[in-house]
Structure 1
Amino acid sequence: MNALTDYIRTQRKSSKKLLMTHVVFGYPSIEKSLEIMHLLLDGGVELLEVQFPFSDPVADGPLITSACHQALSQKPTLQNCIDELQTLSRQYPDSRILLMSYLNPLLQFGFERLAEQGNGIISGIIIPDLPVEHDSLLAPLADSSITPIWLLTPDTPDTRLDQVVRKADGMIYCVSRKGVTGQQSNGMSGLDGYLARVSAATDLPLGVGFGIQSADDIRSLPEVADIAIIGSGLLNAYNNGGLDKLRNLLTELKNA
């Protein structure tokens, strides 16, 4: 079994749903983003998704896009990001770190280099603008700990869904609705049929993201969902109340 899958399955034995939280590396500064990561990991987050910023994050809404642009003003490098994640992975061995970014900065860094530098540190990678047909670009990651994580949406047709799950490992990222991150939603209702269709096609753990803002959203997720993924909700809490408000929201989410 894939190491990430095994970790998620093991954690699920003692937790109703796992929490995957999203942080933009370098926002509002590199130092502050690391403080946020420490807060989340200290709070018991099982999966930490760290986004390396890109100037045109097409899957992200205004909130995360603005955070990416401000982060880029800090002149972060992917090497610096991986070095910081290495420190975190040693300090928090009971959690797992996922890297999220777009294809352009990853190609510039090089997947061979990423496989070498990130092995044993990064458990998974999410690249929203990489179609599954071009997964051969990720071949250098095959012998590393870094598992490509593919996205599905409610509109993904069955033929496409089958194509994705054949390539998938680790977990499946189930986008809850059309659109970009951070948009207001009507809660997590209406996902049962969609997630049932995905779970019928794969036995991999399912993470649900896009639109989760509150503890109530987590409670309303179908039972088949293994992981609640939250990004913009946490970022909005931080922007409106700093670490204290972020900590309070995290407590509510964990209690859910």
Structure 2
Amino acid sequence: MEIILYLSNGYPTLENSYQTAIEYADAGCRIMEVDFPSRNPYLEGQYIADRMAKALEACDDYEKYMESMVKMKKLLPEVHFLVLAYENTVEEIGTEHFIEFCKENDFKDVLLVGLKGEIIKNQIIESGLKVSCYVQFHMLPEEIESAKASNGFVYMQAKPNGNINPDFPTLKDCIKHLRDCGIERPIYCGVGIHAPKDVKMAKEAGADAAFVGSTILKLHEDVPAMKGMIRKFKAQC
């Protein structure tokens, strides 16, 4: 069991996010979700969307983001990086160039969001990279089928937002059903992981890792407090 910390790449500058990755690792984080900030992050809340916008104000050259990611990976070989990218960003970078970058630098796991269709996702999968899939807590049949057909980790919603499937009322029930469906790939839980006790809950439910986002992001300006909080989350793994 691990925690996954979100790294706002380029916020407020590329150098700052690079240093944040170092602090994350020093506090014990071994999986990081690093983004390519999108020019149209329409699925994000205002907090993350604003961070992406400010990152692009500071640097709008995606080649520089790639260079920073490679630098992070070389410095932190013990860390596994997950790459978050909107489809519109992949299109701007160029799908083939994006795939080449990920493969050459061993960024094997991609969270591809904001899909307009299946073409780019299928290109990435066919290249040998792994694309994650999202399953909501109320366990929609079509999302379960998508998870079964995918080749990447399953991003499982950790807590309900009002909708609960009576057949799978708890996170443990949801994860068990995914396993019973034959899914052997990692199941990472997110959306609702705000306190260390939530990591413990995800672990007891059978998750392989838990995404921790805004709780840590909001402590970035107080590094000692941030690292102390990371260690509290990590202690529940």
TM-score interval for Structure 1 and Structure 2 normalised by the shorter chain: 0.7 to 0.9
In 1, the alpha carbon distance for the partners of 2:160 and 2:54 equals 26
- Structure 2 equivalent of residue 23 of structure 1: 7
Say yes or no: does 1:224 pair with 2:206: yes
Cα shift at 1:196: 2.3
Note if contact 2:18-2:72 (Cα within 8 Å) is conserved in structure 1: no
- Gaps of at least 5 residues in structure 1 are 1-16, 180-188
In 2, the alpha carbon distance for the partners of 1:124 and 1:52 equals 14
Between 1:192-201 and 1:211-220, the stretch displaced more is 192-201
In 2, the alpha carbon distance for the partners of 1:18 and 1:218 equals 9
Cα shift at 1:140: 4.8
Say yes or no: does 1:151 pair with 2:131: no
- Structure 1 equivalent of residue 165 of structure 2: none
Amino acid at match of 1:147: K
What TM-score comes out, normalization by structure 2 length?
A: 0.86
Cα shift at 1:137: 4.2
Distance verdict in 2 for CA 1:59–1:190, change over 3 Å: farther
Runs (4+) off by over 6 Å: none
What aligned pairs does 1:90-105 form with structure 2 within 5 A after superposition? 90-105=74-89
In 1, the alpha carbon distance for the partners of 2:148 and 2:50 equals 32
Candidates 215, 218, 239, aligned match of 2:196: 215
Distance verdict in 2 for CA 1:107–1:243, change over 3 Å: same
- Structure 2 equivalent of residue 76 of structure 1: 60
SS in 2 for 1:130: coil
Taking only the aligned residue pairs, the percentage that are identical comes to: 17
Distance verdict in 2 for CA 1:46–1:52, change over 3 Å: same
Candidates 112, 119, 122, aligned match of 2:107: 122
Amino acid at match of 1:54: S
- Structure 2 equivalent of residue 8 of structure 1: none
Candidates 220, 224, 229, aligned match of 1:249: 229
Cα RMSD after superposing both structures: 2.2
Distance verdict in 2 for CA 1:196–1:137, change over 3 Å: closer
What TM-score comes out, normalization by structure 1 length?
A: 0.80
Cα shift at 1:77: 2.4
Distance verdict in 2 for CA 1:161–1:231, change over 3 Å: same
Note if contact 2:171-2:205 (Cα within 8 Å) is conserved in structure 1: no
In 2, the alpha carbon distance for the partners of 1:164 and 1:79 equals 31
- Gaps of at least 5 residues in structure 2 are 162-168
Amino acid at match of 2:69: L
- Structure 1 equivalent of residue 171 of structure 2: 191
Cα shift at 1:95: 1.6
CA deviation string 1:130-182 (max 9, x = no partner)? 26x605544255345x321111112342243113321x223111123467xxx
Note if contact 1:199-1:224 (Cα within 8 Å) is conserved in structure 2: no
- Structure 2 equivalent of residue 6 of structure 1: none
In 2, the alpha carbon distance for the partners of 1:123 and 1:209 equals 20
In 1, the alpha carbon distance for the partners of 2:36 and 2:158 equals 23
Note if contact 2:9-2:17 (Cα within 8 Å) is conserved in structure 1: yes
Amino acid at match of 1:26: G
SS in 2 for 1:73: helix
In 2, the alpha carbon distance for the partners of 1:165 and 1:156 equals 13
Aligned length: 226
- Structure 2 equivalent of residue 174 of structure 1: 156
